[in-house]
């Protein structure tokens, strides 16, 4: 680097013009400028070499000029500074972005100057200047080649190379330092400089250098330098700074410098605020990052967390070592693990493979829970969890006994079928607890997507295994008990048939290699004990039902409901209502009324809800009648921890812990039949029997089975008016009857006419009677093949004008020849008959095994009459009627008929005369 002397001539009329951009130079403050123009670089070097290192520096009017040369005098501001070149850097030290050589020079401005004329070299003019007026000609000339420097013009050698300017000095106007305005402005500038320096360290260094450069050491004695310093260190735009160069008056110059410093202070304050906000956020993030890294380090040391692909692979390997994967699963695991090791974490396939490996290592390959085949333990569990259900409990104990002898209970699919609320799901839980197996339940009611059972293919986004694999993952054993609820309500949609997907799952011959779409490897489900529940078997697909062992879970009779309410439901509801230590008495008589008038269904779910309603109402009445002081109560109910939370502002949103309120011992509540309606409202079932007294002719009590249990179905037959012997016979039926029941009415009507014709040849009732058969509760749909016997009896009761004993109930389907066929749901029907007050029940003899299997408490008080032919029913219901009476009993009903009508021959029969001998023959004789 070349050092240059500091002698400055007082007058330099001709100077090389050096344009700069962005901001002008101010006297007394150094500035570094980078040059790229070759002519300017050569000129600067020549000036330094000749010992005349002075140039005129002027601000270019354009913010981004296309060239460093001055092509016209209005391209630059005419007020600039005389600057001395104090230092230059060699060409090899700097290059611009286009790899052109450049030169950096350090300038020191000495004084203000003003341009009088701009002289441009010929080779710097793109086009000759034409059309210029006289003023332009005097201020802008083109120098021709051949003109050289003289002693009077030391820079004349540059005229044919670079732009030259003729300048004059612009001395500063005199200033009175003691003038109040000047002193006030100077004082304000100094104050602003101090305030800015406190915010900006770089500003502080510049002020220190400026203060040291003052000869007097007092800024108040140098207002000219102070105004230039304010402009030099501020970040004003080029126009504002140029105005400060143009201003001659020192007072005005100081004021403009003050404005620039005010803006600088505002920028400094804004920058300080931004820096403070950013620093605060950065500190918070750095603190969180530091703490998170510490926590990760601690978790890694404890083995709770690992990061990185290698750690992930190691985790999967550790899981696989604890499992006993079959060969097929182990091979797939190795392939997927190798794939994961070769994938980048950012790849989309990486997460798919990682999730698959996570699932395959979460399946409990070879992990089993130790089963308990103790009959005593199982008996205790079943007795503690359930009341009654003796046949179900016996079947479960048999199931466990076989497992004890074989060592396992594989290959069995149990299906509990019964009305709602009888405890089918809870039985499954009890079996799991008795066998010491993990329990998992999921419902397939309304399920329409096969993927819910068999999983999704891994090609889909968000694919998951089916519910069976998910259940294995949750249970973490190969031999859990999985309860599949509501299999009779499974749906079928456009995504496939889930019932068909269950075939593979529930087939003991196939489920040892169950194939899930997501896992795509065989999974052994033969060790899983599947238990299904359903309300009925009619809607279960036959292939699926064939794979299950159906166990009927019938409803409860009133005595069983009463025992369940006293042993299980009432204590649970009492504790849940907060009345465990309160003297409240729900009398057995009130429970009887609840069962009889509010909860007539087969299950106990509604009974549980009604009992809970009683205790909730009682709790409300107790709290309402206490009339305690709210403030004192609130104070007494808070625990110490609750008080601490309530007093702490940091935990003001936390839940205030409370202790149960202690009800005084003087409080006593008695719920009896007299006040029960105050707790549960009016009775839902206002009567049990349709007829309180002996029913009229043509009314017979039938029995029906529904999904909710057994029910009583009355059959009524009446004669339509007018009752005339000349009326045409007709038969119609009402009562929302289904197709099967309609067929039963036609069969029963045909059979009754033939039976009367065979037994009582002179009885012409059906030849003239207009009969209307009705099943009450017409809005309730009714269907089923078990009402033929009841309908036939109703029609015969009308034809023989003989009322049927109201304590007799019957069920069974009849053929046109009088044969009584087997029916289903005998237990539920017997429960309904007993609830209705029946004492005798007629049922098909083919159901004798079902009758003998009934519990003693159900059969107690009931006489069962098995029947093969309708004659068995007729001989008990119409045993006192004689032939003569039967032949004539219809005449008072329809009135006298013509003699020829009485003796008119009957239509050809169907051979029933041989089947039904004249009255007087016994049942055994008929059947023989």
Q: Which residues are annotated as a binding site for ATP?
A: 418-425
β-strand partners of 485: 443
Residue 659: phi and psi, rounded to 5, are -100, 155
* Residue 811 Cα distances to 245, 784, 895, angstroms: 120, 11, 34
- What is the distance between the alpha carbons of residues 440 and 364, in angstroms, rounded to a whole number? 14
- What is the distance between the alpha carbons of residues 393 and 431, in angstroms, rounded to a whole number? 10
- What is the distance between the alpha carbons of residues 825 and 828, in angstroms, rounded to a whole number? 5
- What is the distance between the alpha carbons of residues 405 and 398, in angstroms, rounded to a whole number? 11
Structure tokens that stand for 68 in this block: 């460093």
696 Cβ contact partners less than 8 Å away, ≥ 6 residues apart: 803
Question: Rounded to the nearest 10 degrees, how much is the dihedral formed by the CA atoms of 669, 672, 677, 683?
Answer: 150
CB 397 within 8 A of CB 362: no
* Residue 585 Cα distances to 75, 579, 606, 608, 838, angstroms: 108, 11, 20, 16, 32
- What is the distance between the alpha carbons of residues 897 and 883, in angstroms, rounded to a whole number? 19
- What is the distance between the alpha carbons of residues 116 and 56, in angstroms, rounded to a whole number? 12
Candidates 729, 717, 789; CA nearest to 765 is 729
- What is the distance between the alpha carbons of residues 515 and 918, in angstroms, rounded to a whole number? 69
Q: What totals of helices (H) and strands (E) does the chain contain, helices first?
A: 36, 26
- What is the distance between the alpha carbons of residues 719 and 796, in angstroms, rounded to a whole number? 12
Candidates 443, 541, 543, 536; CA nearest to 492 is 541
- What is the distance between the alpha carbons of residues 700 and 236, in angstroms, rounded to a whole number? 111
Check if 829 is active-site: yes
N-to-C CA span, the chain: 142
Question: Rounded to the nearest 10 degrees, how much is the dihedral formed by the CA atoms of 271, 276, 277, 282?
Answer: 120
Q: Would you call the peptide bond into 722 cis, given omega within 30 degrees of 0 as the criterion?
A: yes
- What is the distance between the alpha carbons of residues 40 and 46, in angstroms, rounded to a whole number? 10
* Residue 339 Cα distances to 311, 351, 359, angstroms: 15, 12, 16
CB 391 within 8 A of CB 857: no
Question: Rounded to the nearest 10 degrees, how much is the dihedral formed by the CA atoms of 918, 924, 926, 928?
Answer: -140
Residue 568 is classified by DSSP as I
Of 786, 792, 794, 797, the active-site residue reads 786
Of 161, 256, 829, 834, the active-site residue reads 829
286 Cβ contact partners less than 8 Å away, ≥ 6 residues apart: none
143 Cβ contact partners less than 8 Å away, ≥ 6 residues apart: 119, 120, 121, 122, 159, 160, 164
- What is the distance between the alpha carbons of residues 459 and 517, in angstroms, rounded to a whole number? 10
Report the alpha-carbon angle 54-60-63, nearest 5.
140
The per-residue DSSP string of 657-696 comes to PBPPP---TT-EEEE-TTTTHHHH-S-S---S-S-SS---
Report the binding-site residues.
418-425
Sheet holding 699-706, edge to edge: 730-734, 770-774, 709-719, 699-706, 808-810, 840-844, 863-867
CB 851 within 8 A of CB 826: yes
Check if 786 is active-site: yes
CB 897 within 8 A of CB 891: yes
Q: Show which residues are catalytic.
A: 786, 829
């Amino acid at each position: 680097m070349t050092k240059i002397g500091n002698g400055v001539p007082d007058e330099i009329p001709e100077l090389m013009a050096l344009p700069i951009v962005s901001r002008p130079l101010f006297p007394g403050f150094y500035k570094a400028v980078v040059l790229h123009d070759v002519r300017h670089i050569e000129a600067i070097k020549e000036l330094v070499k000749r010992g005349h290192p002075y140039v005129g520096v002027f601000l270019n009017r354009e913010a981004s000029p296309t060239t460093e040369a001055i092509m016209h005098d209005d391209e630059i501001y005419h007020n600039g500074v005389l600057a001395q070149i104090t230092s230059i850097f060699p060409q090899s030290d700097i290059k611009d972005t286009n790899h052109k050589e450049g030169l950096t020079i350090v300038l020191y401005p000495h004084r203000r100057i003003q341009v009088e004329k701009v002289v441009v070299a010929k080779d710097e003019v793109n086009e000759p200047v034409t059309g210029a007026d006289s003023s332009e000609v005097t201020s802008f000339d083109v120098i021709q080649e051949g003109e050289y420097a003289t002693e009077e013009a030391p820079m004349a050698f540059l005229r044919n190379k670079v732009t030259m300017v003729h300048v004059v000095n612009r001395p500063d106007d005199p200033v009175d330092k003691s003038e109040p305005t000047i002193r006030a402005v100077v004082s304000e500038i100094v104050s602003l400089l101090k305030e800015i320096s406190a915010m900006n360290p770089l500003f502080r260094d510049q002020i220190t250098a400026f203060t040291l450069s003052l000869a007097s050491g007092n800024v108040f004695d140098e207002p000219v330098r102070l105004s230039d310093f304010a402009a030099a260190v501020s970040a004003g735009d080029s126009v504002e700074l140029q105005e400060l160069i143009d201003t001659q008056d020192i007072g005005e110059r100081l004021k403009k410098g003050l404005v620039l410093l005010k803006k600088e202070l505002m920028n400094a304050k804004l920058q300080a605020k931004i820096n403070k906000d950013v620093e605060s956020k950065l500190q918070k993030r750095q603190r969180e990052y530091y703490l998170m890294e510490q926590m990760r380090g601690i978790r890694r040391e404890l083995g709770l967390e690992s990061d990185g692909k290698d750690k992930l692979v190691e985790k999967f390997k550790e899981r696989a070592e604890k499992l006993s994967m079959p060969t097929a699963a182990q091979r797939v695991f190795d392939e997927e693990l190798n794939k994961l090791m070769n994938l980048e974490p950012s790849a989309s396939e990486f997460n798919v493979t990682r999730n698959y490996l996570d699932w395959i290592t979460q399946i409990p390959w070879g992990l089993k829970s130790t089963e308990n085949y103790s009959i005593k333990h199982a008996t205790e569990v079943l007795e503690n969890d359930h009341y009654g259900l003796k046949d179900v409990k016996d079947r479960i104990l048999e199931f466990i006994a076989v497992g004890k002898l074989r060592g396992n209970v594989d290959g069995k699919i149990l299906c509990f079928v019964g009305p709602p609320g009888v405890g089918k799901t809870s039985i499954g839980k009890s079996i799991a607890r008795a066998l010491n197996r993990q329990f998992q339940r999921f419902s397939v009611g309304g399920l329409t997507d096969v993927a819910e059972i068999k999983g999704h293919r891994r090609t889909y986004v968000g694919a998951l295994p089916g519910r069976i694999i998910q259940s294995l993952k949750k249970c973490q054993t190969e031999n859990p008990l999985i309860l599949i609820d509501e299999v009779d309500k499974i749906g079928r949609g456009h995504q496939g048939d889930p019932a068909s997907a269950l075939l593979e799952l529930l087939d003991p011959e196939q489920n040892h290699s169950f194939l899930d779409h997501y896992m795509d490897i065989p999974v052994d489900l033969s060790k899983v004990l599947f238990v299904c529940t359903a309300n009925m078997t009619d809607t279960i697909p036959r292939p699926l039902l064939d794979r299950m062992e159906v166990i009927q879970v019938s409803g409860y009779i009133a005595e069983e409901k009463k025992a369940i309410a006293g042993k299980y439901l009432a204590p649970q509801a009492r504790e849940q209502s907060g009345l465990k230590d309160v003297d409240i008495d729900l009398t057995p008589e009130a429970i009887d009324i609840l069962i009889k008038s509010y909860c007539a269904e087969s299950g106990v779910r509604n009974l549980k809800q009604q009992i809970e309603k009683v205790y909730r109402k009682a709790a409300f009445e107790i709290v309402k009648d206490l009339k305690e002081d709210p403030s004192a109560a609130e104070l007494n109910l808070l625990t110490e921890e609750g008080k601490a939370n309530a007093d702490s502002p940091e935990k003001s949103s936390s839940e205030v812990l409370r202790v149960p309120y202690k009800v005084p011992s003087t409080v006593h509540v008695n719920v009896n039949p007299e006040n029960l309606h105050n707790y549960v409202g009016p009775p839902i079932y206002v009567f049990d029997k349709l007829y309180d007294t002996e029913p009229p002719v043509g009314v017979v009590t039938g029995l029906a089975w529904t999904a909710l249990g057994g029910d009583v179905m009355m059959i009524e037959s009446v004669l339509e008016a007018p009752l005339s012997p000349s009326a045409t016979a007709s038969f119609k039926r009402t009562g929302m009857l289904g197709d099967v029941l309609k067929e039963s009415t036609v069969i029963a009507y045909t059979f009754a006419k033939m039976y009367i014709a065979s037994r009582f040849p002179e009885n012409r009732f059906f030849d003239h009677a207009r009969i209307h058969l009705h099943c009450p509760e017409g809005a309730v749909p009714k269907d089923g093949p078990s009402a033929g016997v009841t309908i036939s009896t109703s029609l015969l009761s009308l034809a023989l004008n003989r009322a049927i004993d109201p304590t007799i109930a019957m069920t069974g389907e009849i053929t046109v020849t009088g044969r009584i066929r087997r029916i289903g749901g005998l237990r539920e029907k017997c429960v309904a008959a007993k609830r209705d007050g029946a004492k005798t029940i007629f049922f098909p003899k083919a159901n004798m095994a079902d009758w003998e299997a009934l519990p003693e408490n159900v059969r107690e008080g009931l006489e069962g009459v098995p029947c093969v032919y309708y004659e068995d029913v007729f001989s008990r219901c119409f045993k006192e009627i004689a032939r003569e009476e039967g032949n004539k009993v219809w005449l008072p009903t329809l009135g006298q008929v013509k003699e020829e009508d009485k003796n008119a021959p009957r239509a050809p029969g169907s051979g029933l005369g041989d089947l039904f001998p004249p009255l007087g023959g016994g049942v055994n004789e008929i059947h023989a």
